[in-house]
Structure 1
Amino acid sequence: MDRQVALRLKRQERLINEPALDFRAVISEAALARCAHQESIASEQFAHLLHMSKRPNVSIRVLPFEAGLHNSMTGSFVLLDFPPDTWSPAVYQEHAVGGHLSHDRALVSGLSSVFEDLRSRALAESASHKVISRYAQR
């Protein structure tokens, strides 16, 4: 657990240190609702999301409950894109006991389509900010 937290913190540094990476996320409202019930961490987590969402290189959008069932209900994934002539695009899929990194073009393409569908169904950034703020006040 400590190693996973350290790796996530290192990735977060790349969002604020120059040159900053672009980050686009769709967060299920269900994840926000679950976090809200963890009072010991909720306020800090929501404050962090709100703070980061103000950065020009960060886009955080909420997929509301009203969006219904979606193609990513089986688990989270991260799409990774790299500068030309370095590495090919990749996808990282997390699961309960670890994760899997793949450069498989079909998998990356399929999950890119899933991500674009999620973004099209998610709230706009300003509306997402309001939803996160509401959960933060609970």
Structure 2
Amino acid sequence: MKRRCSRPAPRSGPRRPRPGRTPCRGRATRAHPRTRPVAHHAACDTAQVESYIRALNATAHPRLTDEDIDRQVEVRLERQAILRELDGPHVSVALSESALRRTIGDHGTMREQLLHLIDVSNRPNVELQVYPFDAQTYATASYSFIILRFGDDAATDVVYVETFTDADYLDRPDAVRAYTRLWDRLRAAALGPVESRTLIQRMADDMKR
């Protein structure tokens, strides 16, 4: 079944969640799900610094108001704080190298963001992997998605998929299986956590030149 967020859409997309919010954020916050985000175009929003969030939304279309951007920052930083809790959720992140090399803001913002990713990846409940440009895999994905699992039962898995104008939940078993297989293939093609940190550090160092 395809489900959509019950909140009214504030932007042009008819089913788009409110700016800065992932679907059913309240449920995710209370249940502390295992989270598996895949990001292709920007760093995942659970690991973004404030300057990066503001730069990312500065050119949003339709244009966000200053109040909307402030709310984006507030909600995303609040959500990130959950990762620092003792019983915080386990997060496995797969980032495309293109998401890390795409300049958002200036070089100072990008270097701060890259160093933050390294810091986040060192937390015991976070595993971050980068799949590089030369990764050999037939598995591709055009849009970012997140697989959420509540508890230890795979039957609770829900996939949140974002497109340019829309965002949906998928909990139909065949859809969840397809995205889980895609996740597994992307992760297998990615660098290991240590190698991923090394690559990100090298990219951050290049920003100083």
Q: TM-score, structure 1 length as denominator?
A: 0.86
Of 94, 99, 110, the residue aligned with 2:162 is: 94
1:131 pairs, out of 196, 199, 203, with 199
Q: What corresponds to 1:65 in structure 2? A: 133
Q: What's 1:78 paired with?
A: 146
Unpaired runs of 5+ residues, structure 2, are 1-18, 20-68
Q: CA deviation at 1:40?
A: 4.6
Secondary structure of residue in 1 paired with 2:134: helix
In the TM superposition, 1:98-113 aligns within 5 A as: 98-113=166-181
User: 1:53 pairs with 117, 121, 141, which one?
Assistant: 121
Q: For 1:124 and 1:60, locate their aligned partners in 2 and report how far apart those are by CA, in whole Å.
A: 8
Can you give the 5+ residue segments of structure 1 that lack an aligned partner in the other structure?
A: none
Alignment partner, residue 16 of structure 1:
84
State the 1:6 CA deviation: 4.0
CA–CA distance in structure 1, aligned partners of residues 191 and 131 of structure 2: 6
Asked if the contact 1:75–1:94 (Cα under 8 Å) also holds between the matched residues in 2, the reply is yes
| Mapped contact 1:63–1:121 kept (Cα < 8 A) | yes
Aligned length: 137
2:83 and 2:172 map into 1 onto residues whose CA distance is 26
Query: Greater share of helix residues, 1 or 2?
Result: 1
Q: Which has the larger radius of gyration?
A: 2
- Could you tell me how far apart the structure 1 residues matched to 2:103 and 2:76 are? 17
- Aligned-residue CA RMSD in angstroms? 2.3
For 1:72 and 1:110, the matched residues in 2 are separated by 12
1:28 paired with 2:86, answer: no
Match for residue 114 of structure 1 among 182, 186, 194: 182
